[in-house]
Amino acid sequence: MVFHIAKKEFLNNLLSARFLIGFLLCLVLIPFSILINVDDYRDQMSQSKIDRDAAEKEMTEVRVFSTLRPMVVFSAEPLGVFGKGLSGQVGNQVGIRLGSKPLLAEGKTAARDNPFLASFFSVDFVDIAAIIFSLLALLFSYDALTREKEDGTLRLQMANSLGRAKLLAGKVVGILMTLLPVVVFCFLLGAIIVLASRDLVYSAGEWSRLILLALVSLAYLVFFVFLGLFVSSKSRGSVSSLVVCLFLWVVLIFIVPNLASTFAESFVPIQSRDNLDSVIADMDKGLDERIQAATDKLPPSDWNMNWWMFGGSDGERETYGCTASHFERNRREMALSEPLRLDNADRKWAPQKAYLDSLSRQARVAEDLALFSPAGIFRAVATSVCGTDRRAQEKRLEDVRRYRETFVSWLKGKNLFEKYEYITPTLPSAFKTRDQLVAARTGGRFKTQAEYDAWADKEPDFRKRWQVLSTVTLPGDSPEDYPFLKLGDMPRFLERPVSAADSMAASLPRLGLLLFECIFLFALAYVAFIRYDVR
């Protein structure tokens, strides 16, 4: 009997205008949303490639260890085509520095070429599915009982030996039989676009996550079918049932998620970024003072001159053509400064962590408040499955922080801060005294530094003093005279792919909540229908 009712319901729905219009809506909006995001994905991929190539080039073309600063570039998440989550609003790379731990991703966001475009929101498959699936489910269920009551057919059916439970079950199955092909069609359409796109190649894991997403969509759909049935079983007429369903739809899909974020932002404030930057700047100033105090105690070098030097704010120092004494001074400075820099990074982490925690706390509250809406649950589960949610982003950053520790341990393990290799590729055996350097550079015009100084004191033209010292170009005075470092044993960052099991585990509580709500709503609909006046 249930099958007969379901079949009748299915055929009625199939021939209705709402099925046609709903189907057309899906046919237009679903490919549109996926194509937009395939376009974005293509941009992200090409940007990642450019950034990764640049990072690789920068990292391999180093001659001293002090300038070695790996840049971690994240790959675009292929399932972001379905649910882009936060992927368009966070950066795509993180630089590894000794003086600070990675705080947030940097680099290019979706609005990389024009920052004004960040004010344009965009929709993805998950957003469209959240809107369309819920709307269709409500439109097919709002009058499941009221229409039959208005037509007088409900009373007729109940006059037979048909139980109310069977009738309700038949209606549910009939509506689901109507909607299931729509959902399957939407996902098939998505899958066809993925297969047809040359930029997207999904692994088995990604296909299984997509199937998981389809199952979550079904649960979401079922919720709204039950909601529509419940409203229908509590309403006297189709019009009032429709109006109530539509208002519930607007509230649950559009108002509650925005309300959740607005409330979280208003009542769970984040710390001031300017304040954090100011605190960090003060701590960096303190580091400079500590380094200065420590290095002031070192004996001075015989000639405070770097023939070629590059320095950076994170302790990068690359120097060539110094005297042996000045190389030694440089080496000892770095041996003192770099542990202090690492220590300062650890100290800075406390306020940075507090700031990060405030960001996470606010986002978490917004996510929790959004659970009041099934659309909030669906979006949270879907972005978790797609690997583009907050947790995935935080996990990536946590992995990068761990990688930084590994990198630092590698530098420490090789005792590099204490070595000349940290600041120059010149071998200690090739170091010269200042007299040797003056004699060699001036082509023998001056034998000693003292001779040169005596002449330079009388020479008012600053440039000439340097020109004399440049008479002979010495091998080893510039970076080009040395090969790049061999970094075969340097630890590399390995991006961990999101697995279907991870996604499932992370979203299980929310999915459980959605299923519980479904069962609860069905129970309510059933009870309401038992008490329904069919006359």
Partner 1 sequence: MWKTVLKREIQHNLYSLRFLLSLALILAVFIAGSLSFVRHHAADLDKYRVARDLAVKAVQTDAASGATNLAVNRRSYDLRPRDNGFLADAKEKYLPNSLTYSAWNVFGFANKSGSANPYLARYDELSWAFAIALLVSFAALIFTFDAVSGEKESKTLSLALANPVSRGALLFGKYASAVVSVMAILAPGVLVGLLILTLAGTVSWGWSLAAEVGACLLAAAFLAAAMSAFGLLCSVLARSSNVSLLLALTVWLLFAMVIPNSSGFLAKNVFPIEKAESVQKRVQQALDDLSKAAPPGSWMMNSNNPFLPQHELRANLMRKRMAAEKAIRDDYYRSMFLQFERTRRLTAFSPVAAFEFLAESIVGGGYPRFRRDWDDLHVFQGRFLSFFQALDAADPKSPHWFNPRESVSTTRQKVSPDVVPTFSERPMSFADRLGSAWPYLLVLAAAAALIFSLGFGLFVRYDVR
Nearer to partner 1, 219 or 246 (CB): 246
The separation between the first and the last C-alpha atoms of the chain, rounded to the nearest angstrom, is 22
Q: Which stretch binds partner 1 (CB under 8 A): 12-20, 184-192, 328-336, 516-524?
A: 12-20
Least distance in Å: CB of 358 to partner 1? Answer: 9
Nearer to partner 1, 66 or 306 (CB): 306
Touching partner 1, residues 264-293 (CB under 8 A): 264-267, 269-270, 272-278
Site size toward partner 1 (CB under 8 A) is: 78
Nearer to partner 1, 392 or 439 (CB): 392
Selected binder of partner 1 within 57, 297, 458, 463 (CB under 8 A): 463
Touching partner 1, residues 95-154 (CB under 8 A): 104-105, 108, 110-123, 127, 131, 135, 139
The closest alpha carbon to 392, from 498, 501, 499, 505, belongs to: 498
Sign of the CA dihedral running 102, 104, 110, 111: negative
Structure tokens at 158: 């109940």
Touching partner 1, residues 39-58 (CB under 8 A): 39, 43, 50
Selected binder of partner 1 within 152, 163, 195, 263 (CB under 8 A): 263
Nearer to partner 1, 394 or 418 (CB): 394
Selected binder of partner 1 within 247, 484, 516, 520 (CB under 8 A): 247
Q: Which stretch binds partner 1 (CB under 8 A): 85-93, 149-157, 199-207, 474-482?
A: 85-93
Selected binder of partner 1 within 199, 314, 394, 451 (CB under 8 A): 394
For 164, other C-beta atoms within 10 Å of its C-beta total 16
The closest alpha carbon to 142, from 76, 52, 234, 266, belongs to: 234
Least distance in Å: CB of 13 to partner 1? Answer: 12
For 72, other C-beta atoms within 10 Å of its C-beta total 23
Sign of the CA dihedral running 146, 150, 155, 157: negative
Structure tokens at 403: 């990688």
Selected binder of partner 1 within 157, 197, 208, 240 (CB under 8 A): 240
Percentage helix, strand, coil, to 5, in the chain? 70, 5, 30
Residue keyed to tokens 């995935």: 392
Determine contact, residues 286/164, Cβ cutoff 8 Å.
no
Nearer to partner 1, 263 or 520 (CB): 263
Q: Is 298 one of the binding residues for partner 1 (CB under 8 A)?
A: no
28: Cα within 13 Å, side-chain hemisphere: 5
Residue type for 357, please? Answer: D
